[in-house]
């Protein structure tokens, strides 16, 4: 198979450690909160919230606003309903401050030499840009569900990357730590690379990182992906 | 006035030298062509082509496709109607290969330390990303008329930058070498910085670069803008 020209990266879990970062932020606000459970609860609301947009129940809504809806819903459960508007806004921005996995910046920097590297996340453009600036992620371009007005796994997102760069779908590779995202991209004709992130959900909930032979590449991390792709 | 958080840059003429770059490309194809006149003719079709989109005569059309429409129209005038489809496609991509002005990379690099820097161009995302990769333009984010499905000076473009970053319009500054672009941004509440580019249209057609006191800043180039903004 020909090398792709563009690598599009899933972000939450693949490039950055949402679990560890959210747990870190909530531990600062209140050390008595179960930080692991809080991070998992916030993230658990993510797919159902996007589903409300996909189904048409909600009009187009940015992830920042979906994160806030979910946050308001879970705060009472963790004894945090006393947080005021300013504190909630600030906490909601924790998703702009997620830490990169240790291999991320080095891996992306190597891959960028040979390929165009962009985000393809359901996160909104502002969130992704703020995150990149803080974590030093060297994107050539920030693409998002917000550009295509559709959330992954909608085909408009995967095909949208190819159209943006005037390429065939097979000239684009999705890089992600989630087999369902990769399967949807493959159904659109993209190449795919799976990245193991066994601790995406924390040490208490190790993830199955078995290879799927349908992927073009399977890599432990982004440094190994750079090895596999000759960078 | 408070410092902005985001600087949004016009591209053609402000950040890159379209005239010199297009003239350079056509001189390689055929040294007998009047390269200066060719560059000016191609660019002269730009506003009328976008007007066909703004008026609704054409549906949403990317600049790549508008550039191609204009190119096909002017080739006979320059004795170049013998160029075949492959040659025309390749020549049309000249807009992805525009050279930065000599101060651009150093100025942007300094400004990026303190501000979020993004494009706000009528050029499409793919064009802007390819250009940035070739010329080393260190954008935090590539924004384009394509994201907002409207061409400057439509208010949706200027206000779209503020909305993307969840900011007030006054927290965004447009940086451009064109007073009409800056005036439209100011009408939306943005701060504005004018950059002199006296040779935008080549040495044969020097441009009026008189200051307009309505702008927040007036700078000779992007290095001087970095000086003025304390970077």
The pTM for the full model equals 0.97
Q: What is the dihedral of CA B110, B112, B114, B115, to 10 degrees?
A: 140
Hey, is the C-beta of A166 within 8 angstroms of any chain B C-beta? yes
CB-CB neighbors (< 8 A) of B136 in chain A: none
Give the number of other Cβ atoms within 10 Å of residue B149's Cβ. Answer: 13
Distances (CA, A) of B135 to A120, A155, A225, B128: 23, 32, 26, 10
User: Mind giving me the DSSP string for A63-129?
Assistant: HHHHHHHHHHHHGGGGT-TT--HHHHHHHHGGGGSPEEPTTHHHHHHHHHHHSEEEEEESS-HHHHH
What are the tokens at A216?
């073009």
Instruction: Give the contacts of B172 (CB within 8 A, at least 6 positions apart).
Output: B4, B5, B6, B7, B8, B158, B161, B162, B165, B190, B191
For A62, the closest chain B residue by CA position comes to B164
pLDDT digits over A69-116, tens only?
999 999 999 999 999 999 999 999 999 999 999 999 999 999 999 999
- In contact, B135 and A174? CB cutoff 8 Å: no
Please give the CATH topology (third level) of the domain spanning B6-17+99-228: Rossmann fold (3.40.50)
A229 phi, psi to nearest 5 deg: -100, 10
Q: Which of B130, B133, B140 sits opposite A133 (nearest CB)?
A: B140
- In contact, B113 and B106? CB cutoff 8 Å: no
Distance in angstroms (rounded) separating the CA atoms of residues B48 and B52: 6
| Among A residues 118-137, those touching chain B with beta carbons less than 8 Å apart | 118, 124-126, 128-130, 132-133
Instruction: Give the contacts of A28 (CB within 8 A, at least 6 positions apart).
Output: none
Mark yes or no for CB contact A165/B118 under 8 Å.
no
Q: Where are the domains of chain A?
A: 6-17+99-228, 18-96
Distance in angstroms (rounded) separating the CA atoms of residues B84 and B92: 12
Average of per-residue pLDDT across B36-58: 95
Mark yes or no for CB contact B126/A64 under 8 Å.
no
Hey, is the C-beta of B164 within 8 angstroms of any chain A C-beta? yes
- In contact, B128 and A143? CB cutoff 8 Å: no
**Helix intervals (H) in B100-198:** 104-114, 125-135, 145-148, 155-164, 179-187
pLDDT digits over B129-175, tens only?
999 999 999 999 999 999 999 999 999 999 999 999 999 999 999 99
Mark yes or no for CB contact A166/B132 under 8 Å.
no
Q: Which of A116, A129, A164 sits opposite B140 (nearest CB)?
A: A129
CATH superfamily, domain A18-96, is Putative phosphatase; domain 2 (1.10.150.240)
B150 phi, psi to nearest 5 deg: -155, 145
pLDDT tens per residue across all 231 residues of chain A: 799 999 999 999 999 999 999 999 999 999 999 999 999 999 999 999 999 999 999 999 999 999 999 999 999 999 999 999 999 999 999 999 999 999 999 999 999 999 999 999 999 999 999 999 999 999 999 999 999 999 999 999 999 999 999 999 999 999 999 999 999 999 999 999 999 999 999 999 999 999 999 999 999 999 999 999 999
Mark yes or no for CB contact A125/B64 under 8 Å.
no
What are the tokens at B213?
């006191």
CB-CB neighbors (< 8 A) of B129 in chain A: 116, 118, 140-141, 165
């Amino acid at each position: 198979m020909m090398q792709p020209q563009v690598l599009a990266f899933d972000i939450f879990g693949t490039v950055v450690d949402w679990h560890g970062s959210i747990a870190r932020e909530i531990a600062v606000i209140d050390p008595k909160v179960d930080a692991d459970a809080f991070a998992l609860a916030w993230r658990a609301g993510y797919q159902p919230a996007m589903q409300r947009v996909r189904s048409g129940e909600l009009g187009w809504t940015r992830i920042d606003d979906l994160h806030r809806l979910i946050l308001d819903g879970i705060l009472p459960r963790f004894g945090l309903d006393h947080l005021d508007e300013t504190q909630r806004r600030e906490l909601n921005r924790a998703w702009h401050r997620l830490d990169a996995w240790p291999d991320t910046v080095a891996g992306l920097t190597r891959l960028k030499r040979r390929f165009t590297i962009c985000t393809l996340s359901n996160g909104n453009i502002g969130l992704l840009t703020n995150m990149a600036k803080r974590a030093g992620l060297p994107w050539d371009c920030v693409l998002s569900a917000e550009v295509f007005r559709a959330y992954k796994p909608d085909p408009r997102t995967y095909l949208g990357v190819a159209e943006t760069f005037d390429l065939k779908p097979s000239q684009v590779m999705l890089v992600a730590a989630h087999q369902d995202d990769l399967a949807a991209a493959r159904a659109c004709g993209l190449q795919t690379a799976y990245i193991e992130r066994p601790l995406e959900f924390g040490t208490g909930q190790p993830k199955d990182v078995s290879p799927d032979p349908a992927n073009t590449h399977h890599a432990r991390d982004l440094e190994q992906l750079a090895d596999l792709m000759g960078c």
